[in-house]
Amino acid sequence: MSIMRKEIFEQPEVLRKCIETNGITVTALVAALKKHDVKFISIAARGTSDHAAIFGKYVFEYLVGCPTCLAAPSIASVYGRKLDLRGTLVIGISQSGMAQDVLEYLEEGKGAGAITASITNNIDSPLAKAAEFHLFCNAGLEKSVAATKTFVTEMMLLLMTGLIWSGNTDYLKLCGTVPDLLEQSLESLEGSAKQAAEHLKNIRDCITLSRGFSYPIALESALKIQETCYVKAKGYSVSDFYHGPIAIADESLQTILIAPESKMMHDFEQVAKRLREAHAGLTIISPSESLRSYADFFFPVPKTDEITAPFVNAAAIQLLACKLADEKGINPDMPRMLKKVTITV
């Protein structure tokens, strides 16, 4: 059994600890945001954490109506350009808390008078200590190079912040459904992931697709498949896929569509139809039986609301990557040329 698989199965308990640990800090952060009438958010992150940040963008813009951007950390760390970040919440996300460029961007925000928050899995890290508010993943030691439980806790912390900021007084109930749902479904997800991996075992490249709150899961799917299986993968929003990349759709293209029950269902149905017309390979991860007829392989997942579906979909694609690595005879815990902590400047 791989460490990656073990850490995926730790997610229900890890998420419970994350929610319990951070309620007071998130509430204090939101109080500061309201006091200073913050109108804009800038999030700095890399890799998997960057995908969590994109989820945060959807959370803050949908729940709070607060415009949110993804920072270019090198503006501070390489180009040395000063930014006017007054009235902004600057969030730095790094599992290790060691990302130097993210740290420099956060410190730039602090120097400009922004409210600063960090999300890390290391309370003693430079990023944790630099921020005014530190949100702690509390995921325990993550040994596998491929991030799994730290990714979902980063998303949870962003969701908690958005829910409390929006005035949702029942946020604990909504957040608490996620670990319960994962606990109930991980074994069935693993069975489907194994079957999907057997179906996809010979792929050398693929496209991953979704839209809305699960768009970052499409990006994370591609990253997980790249780093654990050495497959050339690229993630797209369905809407961006139409703007050019769909031209490559033919019988040689393998695609993975992540399609939760959501306001985007019509888009998912339309892209699935067009991919089938192009004779592209299509694996669909969805709770919707209406999509089954389009798929070469249908990967069922539990139905949940649009905002919490990314947690279920994240576990599904993590397990798929893990099982696909097994099919290819690759150790997913130790990808070549990668280390657990990546320092970028």
Beta-carbon contacts of 337 under 8 Å, excluding residues fewer than 6 positions away, are none
Catalytic residue among 110, 201, 328, 340: 340
Residue 198 has what pLDDT?
A: 98
User: What are the tens digits of pLDDT across the range 80-98?
Assistant: 888 889 999 999 999 999 9
The model's pTM: 0.95
Mean of pLDDT values over 157-176: 92
Query: By C-alpha distance, which of 246, 220, 177 is closest to 316?
Result: 220
Residue 110 has what pLDDT?
A: 94
Distance between CA atoms of residues 23 and 173, nearest Å: 13
Residue 145 has what pLDDT?
A: 85
Mean of pLDDT values over 191-204: 97
The pLDDT of residue 342 is above 50: yes
Mean of pLDDT values over 113-134: 97
Read off the pLDDT band of 336 (50, 70, 90): low
More confident residue, 340 or 216: 216
Look up 57 and say whether it is catalytic. no
The pLDDT of residue 257 is above 70: yes
The pLDDT of residue 215 is above 60: yes
> 333, 5 in Cβ contact below 8 A?
no
> Hey, CA dihedral for 263, 266, 267, 272, is it positive or negative?
positive
Mean of pLDDT values over 291-296: 97
Mean of pLDDT values over 180-194: 98
User: What are the tens digits of pLDDT across the range 3-39?
Assistant: 999 999 999 999 999 999 999 999 999 999 999 999 9
Mean of pLDDT values over 115-135: 98
The pLDDT of residue 343 is above 60: no
What percentage of the chain reaches a pLDDT higher than 90? 89
Domains and CATH numbers, the chain: 3-169 (3.40.50.10490), 186-327 (3.40.50.10490)
The pLDDT of residue 72 is above 50: yes
- What six digits make up the tokens of 322? 């893990």
Mean pLDDT of the chain: 94
Residue 345 has what pLDDT?
A: 54
> 32, 115 in Cβ contact below 8 A?
yes
Mean of pLDDT values over 276-304: 97
The pLDDT of residue 341 is above 60: no
> 63, 33 in Cβ contact below 8 A?
no
Residue 11 has what pLDDT?
A: 98
- What six digits make up the tokens of 247? 């031209």
Beta-carbon contacts of 106 under 8 Å, excluding residues fewer than 6 positions away, are 44, 90, 91, 92, 116, 118, 127, 130, 131
Read off the pLDDT band of 340 (50, 70, 90): very low
Maximal CA-CA distance, the chain: 56
